[in-house]
Amino acid sequence: MLNRLLVIILLLVTGNLLASTTMIAIEEAYNRGELTQDERILNKIYAMLEPNLLYSRFQAIESGSIKCGTPILMEYEALQPELAQSTIDIIEEILLPNTEGLREIYISPGGHFSLEYSTTGTNGVSATDTDVNGVPDFVEWAATYLDYTWAQEVDSAGFAGPNHVGGDGYYNVSFENMGPYGYCTTSSVDGSELTRLVLHNSYIGFGANQDPEGNVKGAMKVTCAHEFKHASQRSESSWSEGGWVELDATWAEEFVYDYVNDSMLNFMGSGDPYSHPHWGLDHNGTGSYEDYAWEDYMHQRFDNNSYVEAPILEYFWNWRQTHTTQNVMESYAQALTQYGSSLQEAFGEYVVWNFFTGSRAVMADGVSQFGYDDAGINGYPTASLAFTHNSYPVSSSVSGIENLACKMIRLNTSNQLGLEIEFDGQDGVQMSAMWAIRQDDNTVDWGSIDLDGNNDGSIVLDVRDATMAALIPVVTQITGTTYGASYNIDLNSLATCDPGDINDDGGLDVSDLVRLVAIILGNGSPPNDVELCAADVNDDGQSNIQDVITLVDNIIQ
């Protein structure tokens, strides 16, 4: 179990979450045998908290952005049984709460948090105190945001609160000048607390967000929501989910401070379901930071996008308390089943939501008409397309779709009546073929092609009133490698008819038979759409002598 957890956390901290070239360089050096396990984790901690202690070979490398330091500390915690005591001593010394400067304590107005701070030294916060009450504005902001986070995540939504029994009786928070926005740690806790939080001491120099109060307050708000959710997770199931805890904590930013959009603007664009829809939700073995849209979909779809409750995700975390060894996607599937869906159905709808975002979002008067409530806001990503088809017929294929992933195909519909799709998915894999039509009236019709046991199926889409359509092959199974599908798309006239009634007079007689033979032989005037439709008497997709035989039988009956 320990080795499995280490692999999951390793994939998390070296992936897109940290976007840090320093971390990547450390991991690559370890993989080449140039660092020991102890040196590897030490340098990761140094990069995050004490960059001056980094080995010289890593000092000149661009550090990149680190949103959350918790995964590195999760990795350290999991590795402790294998580390030398001297390594543990160094790291624990680094993780000790700050003691420099005159230390002050501020208890949050809600009575849950004890915030320790100083206004001097490297880790000091700004001393600005506009209301002249003796407490820096920066500390009061943090206390307010943490209280609001507690109210939303614990009191309102029902997620577990962090254990803060013993010691000073409060959940402890401090500030530090560091690389990440913040972190949640199990080291140097007070009393019998499981964790404590550390927030950045200025939030200056991070990426822009959309908080109307400014970037500093916005970054602090989402950090409070994110890191506090890590504390809740620790209380729930001891971080047994590995990298999935980052997905969940990032969703919490949206739940508590939806309007800030810090993660969307600063940490999307590589490995997420928009830039890489063919990468699985558990790409490299685990969900992570960039995949938070999955829980955002679950919450908006099954919880009516409430900002006071999140029952399907609360169910998920209650389930995890007693199912810590279960595959996390199986736990999601369990929650979806409780809410009247299934993993296959929900994931199919999820990728359709992801198609209609960014430049393809369905908007009216600035309000999203389909999918995510913020699908069309400035900066929301547009999912990458495998193909765009403008003319028909077309035959093509897609490959390289991981489990829990898809490829998106846009079908332009200008001046078309119907599109007939024949889909041939790879055998032996759990797959869906989703279709969607954006109509002129800003509505979206969508569904899935009925597939047989070999993942083959067909459908005719009525696109007379459409601005665009989509075909999205989706692999919905939890495990696997990569898969593919082929498809043919042709024009369809959408003509309706009674088979054999070639002249459309409501009856079957010799005149229908004469015209059918002429159509088959290519004699006389070219057939219209109704005649072509009726000429396929036996409904096998073509007109030939078998249709003549069938029509004769029908006439003489």
For residue range 205-231, list pLDDT tens digits in order.
999 999 999 999 999 999 999 999 999
| pLDDT range class, residue 20, cuts 50, 70, 90 | low
For residue range 146-158, list pLDDT tens digits in order.
999 999 999 999 9
What value does the mean pLDDT take over residues 309-317?
A: 97
What value does the mean pLDDT take over residues 107-112?
A: 96
CA–CA distance, 144 with 142 (Å, rounded to integer): 5
Predicted local distance difference test score (pLDDT) of residue 468: 97
Residue 492 CA neighbour count, 13 Å, CB half: 19
Buried b (16+ CB within 10 A) or exposed e, 247-256: bbbbbbbbbb
For residue range 219-267, list pLDDT tens digits in order.
999 999 999 999 999 999 999 999 999 999 999 999 999 999 999 999 8
Closest by alpha carbon to 234, among 163, 179, 167, 291?
163
- Give the CA distances from residue 32 to residues 25, 59, 276, 385, in Å, rounded to whole numbers and listed in that order: 11, 19, 28, 36
Is residue 4 pLDDT above 60, yes or no?
no
Rg (CA), the chain: 29
CA–CA distance, 328 with 29 (Å, rounded to integer): 31
Is residue 7 pLDDT above 80, yes or no?
no
For residue range 389-441, list pLDDT tens digits in order.
999 999 999 999 999 999 999 999 999 999 999 999 999 999 999 999 999 99
Residue-averaged pLDDT of the chain:
92
What value does the mean pLDDT take over residues 528-541?
A: 85
| Residue type at 387 in one-letter notation | F
Predicted local distance difference test score (pLDDT) of residue 63: 64
| pLDDT range class, residue 14, cuts 50, 70, 90 | very low
What value does the mean pLDDT take over residues 181-197?
A: 91
Q: Compute the Cα dihedral for 432, 433, 437, 438 and give only its sign.
A: positive
Residue 216 CA neighbour count, 13 Å, CB half: 12
For residue range 463-519, list pLDDT tens digits in order.
999 999 999 999 999 999 999 999 999 999 887 778 999 898 889 999 999 999 999
CA–CA distance, 318 with 335 (Å, rounded to integer): 10
* SS3 of residue 3 by DSSP: helix
- Give the CA distances from residue 179 to residues 18, 54, 56, 195, 197, in Å, rounded to whole numbers and listed in that order: 10, 13, 18, 20, 15
Query: DSSP for 326-375?
Result: S-HHHHHHHHHHHTT--HHHHHHHHHHHHHSSGGG--EETTEE-SS-TTT
Residue pair 425/476 in contact (Cβ under 8 Å)? The answer is: no
Q: State the virtual CA torsion across 274, 279, 281, 287 in degrees, nearest 10.
A: -100
Q: Which residues pair with 434 in a beta bridge?
A: 448, 472
pTM, to two decimals? 0.88
Is residue 16 pLDDT above 60, yes or no?
no
In the chain, the domains with their CATH numbers are: 2-93 (no CATH), 99-267 (3.40.390), 379-492 (2.60.120.380), 510-556 (no CATH)
Query: DSSP for 154-187?
Result: IIIT-PPPPP--STTSSEEEEEE--SSSEEEESS
Residue bearing tokens 């199931």:
237
CA–CA distance, 178 with 203 (Å, rounded to integer): 10
Residue pair 180/156 in contact (Cβ under 8 Å)? The answer is: no
| pLDDT range class, residue 5, cuts 50, 70, 90 | very low
CA–CA distance, 234 with 192 (Å, rounded to integer): 13
Is residue 2 pLDDT above 60, yes or no?
no
Predicted local distance difference test score (pLDDT) of residue 528: 83
CA–CA distance, 238 with 256 (Å, rounded to integer): 22
